[in-house]
Chain A
Amino acid sequence: SQQGEEDPQALSIQEGENATMNCSYKTSINNLQWYRQNSGRGLVHLILIRSNEREKHSGRLRVTLDTSKKSSSLLITASRAADTASYFCATVTLFLPVADRGSTLGRLYFGRGTQLTVWP
């Protein structure tokens, strides 16, 4: 499977603690993205890291990528109850030719997600 696989499946922490989620994948990638999904809602893009990058920050989020181990981690620092959600990694590996455009379209492969619960 080309899908990313998140670990752990579920994570429960107290407010103020850090939350770390991991993602492993099998094939080479162009980039890896993390999305968040609140219960019963659509996904929201959080952060993207390219295959030639090792670390990226966005606010309280820190993403690392180790292409030699085919793994990524998402760290949420100083977590809040509002961070409670499912977090998915998505790898972009397969580029699809776009007819008459001379460009390509990346295909996202999603993992099963990590359910994060942050207790007040």
Chain B
Amino acid sequence: DGGITQSPKYLFRKEGQNVTLSCEQNLNHDAMYWYRQDPGQGLRLIYYSQIVNDFQKGDIAEGYSVSREKKESFPLTVTSAQKNPTAFYLCASSTLRDTITDTQYFGPGTRLTVL
């Protein structure tokens, strides 16, 4: 069963703590992305990665960090420097073979709440 998974589905964090959100895909996609979604809002790009060991900042990278050590995995760490981290986080992937279409495949999301 091919797809993109995120864990956990719900995550609670105390202020001052770092937390890491998991994103895994078995679609053999080269590109992966992290978005943040706030209520009633569209998606904003946090980070993206085109190939292993390479990633680039999106529009709202401050307070976040990522790594891309494996093609299948693109974890996102929400650091204590992120001032308002409560949001719905979505991971996506796409193939570079079909760059013109750029259809992205999304995971089910992680809802992060800071207590």
Contacts and interface: CB of A to CB of B under 8 A. Distances in A.
Interface of A: 3, 30-31, 33, 35, 40-45, 48, 88, 92, 95-96, 98-101, 103-108, 110-113
Interface of B: 4, 6, 31, 35, 40-45, 48, 50-51, 54, 56, 88, 90, 92, 94, 96, 99-109, 111
Q: Which 9 A-B pairs have the closest CB atoms?
A: A42-B106, A106-B102, A110-B42, A110-B43, A43-B106, A112-B42, A42-B108, A98-B50, A45-B103
Contact of A108 (B40, B96, B99, B104): B104
30 contacts: A3-B42, A30-B100, A31-B101, A31-B102, A33-B102, A35-B106, A40-B111, A41-B109, A42-B92, A42-B107, A44-B106, A92-B102, A96-B50, A96-B56, A98-B51, A98-B96, A99-B54, A101-B51, A103-B99, A104-B99, A105-B31, A105-B48, A105-B94, A105-B99, A108-B45, A110-B35, A110-B43, A110-B44, A112-B42, A113-B40
Interface of A (DSSP majority class): strand
Contacts, number: 76
A103 B90 contact: no
Given A43-B90, A112-B42, A48 B103 contact: yes
Nearest to A100: B51
A38 to B, nearest CB: 10
B109 A42 contact: yes
Given A99-B54, A105-B50, A113 B42 contact: yes
Contacts of A105: 31, 48, 50, 94, 96, 99, 102
Contacts of A43: 43, 90, 92, 104, 106
Contacts of A45: 103-105
A112 B54 CA distance: 29
Nearest to B101: A48
Contacts of B45: 107-108
A112 B66 CA distance: 25
Contacts of B88: 40
A45 B104 CA distance: 7
